[in-house]
Amino acid sequence: MSDVCIVGIGIHPFGRTDGVSGVDQGVNAVRAALADAGIAWPDVQFAYGSSDSAGNPDTMVDRLGLTGMQFINVRNGCAAGGSALFSAQMAIKSGEFDLGLAVGFDKHPRGAFNALPSEYNLPEWYGDAGYMVTTQFFAAKIMRYMAMFGISRKSLGMVAEKAFRNAVHAPHAWRRSPVALEDILEAPMVSDPYSKFMFCSPAEGGVALILASEKKARELGKPLIRLKAATMRTRPPHSFEVFAPMVDVVENDSGPRGTASRIASADAFRLAGIGPEDIALAQLQDTEAGAEIMHMAENGFCADGEQERWLAEGRTEIGGALPVNTDGGCLACGEPIGASGLRQVYENVVQLRGDAGGRQVPGNPKTAYSHVYGAPGVSAVTILER
């Protein structure tokens, strides 16, 4: 079975780009990725594309060229980009194809996401009563976690502060100005304990990754960035999820519950044959500040409750023991659902190539990790190795 390599990357800046459609932002990213790989569109044998609300990705062939290639549309909540990449690498691992594309883009209106109960098999009254709001779940999840594991609100603020500080050096990020910790903590509340700076915003953007078999990658003469693992899993029993009117009662509720992220992460480390201690940098889903904190533990990087000390010691800073969300993550880049998971992998490739400029992780990193979580309880993880 061939290793899968990432041989080309392209991104359309995240944020708001008036007058450019979501599809066109995706096309822009694809053209950049083709140029980076040194190939032409007709060389691409297949594609998996993700978009939640900016149209079907396969329509991109109208812009890129009608070559008759295979193009599958992927929709999987906020894990859509990660799921597109997961699917794309399987097509190469199977031996069926040598060269393909994972692409994601989106363009969301301002304000909270427009989820409807029927899309999640929920009764209409659930939406009528005001519960189709993702921020409620994320806030309630961290509220319980803080009570159980002694996480302070200041730590939430420090995560957001780091995101905006890192993004200053990321040309593709949306919000590139530092925000003082005090301003983050004292900003208007959106959903307790989170202020407005602690949540990411729905946004726009596009990301494209060109994947190749190892043989093909060598032919192209590209540095070999290997996709050592890409996993995608759904939730286990008793988990606590977004858009869920209920949670199961468990006999002993004093420890953390199982999550899709925990399974996807364990799977990824098993496939890659390495452990969390071997990872040089990580992009962890941070749709809100507490998610980064909880996902540090769910992905095996620390024990529940250790995050308070990790943050105080600066361990997740660029230059720390495990830099997390080096481009500012969702907090600074915003979240175009279809593109978000692929942005993380884009950033990891930039870092492994040593091209990250002011946000470059020092020490010539050789491994990088990415993780996304989405409704209604799906997660995708990748591990890259140079």
Q: Closest separation between CB of residue 121 and another protein, Å?
A: 9
Q: Which residues, numbered 198-237, are part of the site for another protein (CB under 8 A)?
A: none
CA distance 209 to 290: 29
Q: Closest separation between CB of residue 118 and another protein, Å?
A: 9
Query: Is residue 235 exposed (0-12), middle (13-18) or buried (19+ Cβ within 10 Å)?
Result: buried
Q: Quick one: 49 or 202, whose CB is closer to another protein?
A: 202
Query: CB of 100 within 8 A of CB of 47?
Result: yes
Q: Closest separation between CB of residue 248 and another protein, Å?
A: 7
Coil, strand or helix at 283:
strand
> Quick one: which of 87, 191, 231, 316 contacts another protein (CB under 8 A)?
191
Stretch that binds another protein, among 32-40, 63-71, 178-186, 238-246 (CB under 8 A): 238-246
Query: Is residue 227 exposed (0-12), middle (13-18) or buried (19+ Cβ within 10 Å)?
Result: buried
CA distance 173 to 119: 30
Report the DSSP beta bridge partners of residue 159: none
For 281, other C-beta atoms within 10 Å of its C-beta total 25
Stretch that binds another protein, among 65-73, 107-115, 293-301, 343-351 (CB under 8 A): 107-115
Residue 180 CA neighbour count, 13 Å, CB half:
3
> Quick one: which of 72, 90, 181, 190 contacts another protein (CB under 8 A)?
190
Coil, strand or helix at 333:
helix
Q: Quick one: 41 or 126, whose CB is closer to another protein?
A: 126
Q: Closest separation between CB of residue 77 and another protein, Å?
A: 17
Count residues near another protein (CB under 8 A).
35
Tell me if 187 contacts another protein by CB under 8 A. no
CA distance 383 to 82: 12
Tell me if 375 contacts another protein by CB under 8 A. no
Stretch that binds another protein, among 109-117, 174-182, 278-286, 377-385 (CB under 8 A): 109-117
Tell me if 131 contacts another protein by CB under 8 A. yes
Tell me if 132 contacts another protein by CB under 8 A. yes
Tell me if 257 contacts another protein by CB under 8 A. no
> Quick one: which of 10, 22, 49, 127 contacts another protein (CB under 8 A)?
127
Q: How many residues would you count in the chain?
A: 386
CA distance 282 to 297: 12
Query: CB of 242 within 8 A of CB of 137?
Result: yes
Query: CB of 231 within 8 A of CB of 86?
Result: yes
Q: Quick one: 112 or 274, whose CB is closer to another protein?
A: 112
Tell me if 111 contacts another protein by CB under 8 A. yes
User: Which residues, in sequence order, are CB contacts of 130 under 8 Å at separation 6+?
Assistant: none
Q: What is the DSSP string of 186-222?
A: HSPEEETTEEGGGB--B-EEEEEEEEEEHHHHHHHT-
Stretch that binds another protein, among 12-20, 186-194, 203-211, 378-386 (CB under 8 A): 186-194
> Quick one: which of 140, 168, 224, 274 contacts another protein (CB under 8 A)?
140
Tell me if 19 contacts another protein by CB under 8 A. no
Tell me if 313 contacts another protein by CB under 8 A. no
> Quick one: which of 247, 303, 312, 321 contacts another protein (CB under 8 A)?
247
Q: Quick one: 155 or 382, whose CB is closer to another protein?
A: 155
Q: Quick one: 127 or 329, whose CB is closer to another protein?
A: 127
CA distance 324 to 18: 30
Query: CB of 285 within 8 A of CB of 372?
Result: yes
Q: Which residues contribute to the site for another protein (CB under 8 A)?
A: 111-112, 114, 116-117, 123-125, 127-133, 136, 139-141, 143-144, 147, 188-193, 244-249, 253
